[in-house]
Amino acid sequence: MNVLKRSNSFYPAFPDLWDNFFGADLKGWDNSNFSSTNTSLPAVNIKETGESYEIEVAAPGMNKKDFNVILEKNILSISSEKKEENTANEKNFSRREFSYQSFKRSFSLPENQVEGEKITAKYNDGILCITLPKKEEVKPKPPREIKIV
């Protein structure tokens, strides 16, 4: 069975927002998509197949060179940093704008279940996909009939 889990959704579901608007304390409103510095964190999907775990990070507007994916011990860290500077010099004015985006997400991997040397990552159409292959011993085995003697 494939399990698809979406975490850190940016907007709460409309019915939940409506149902909770009058009775809920707004201090507890879902801030799970923001870091402690009030910057937005990308949404993440995690799914498990028989062969691997797959992590999808929604990060549109980035380039593959903007990401760092590091496995240290049993922690997979995904980070990104993007800086932009725009300068315009016109007749009567000068304008200089800076933009800076960064995030870091870390995931504890299931112990002794992932082939760390075989982890792959690709970035396509605004989605960073990381594939974490399972070790042979933890992959599901087909049912085996046991003969009675």
Mean pLDDT of 43-56: 93
Question: Over the stretch 80-111, which tens digit does the pLDDT of each residue have?
Answer: 888 878 888 877 777 778 777 788 999 998 88
Q: Which residue type does 117 have? A: E
Q: What is the pLDDT of residues 1-32, one digit of tens each?
A: 444 444 444 444 444 443 444 444 444 444 44
Calculate the average pLDDT of the chain. 77
- The whole-number pLDDT of residue 142 equals 87
Q: Determine the pLDDT at residue 56.
A: 95
What is the value of pTM for the model shown? 0.63
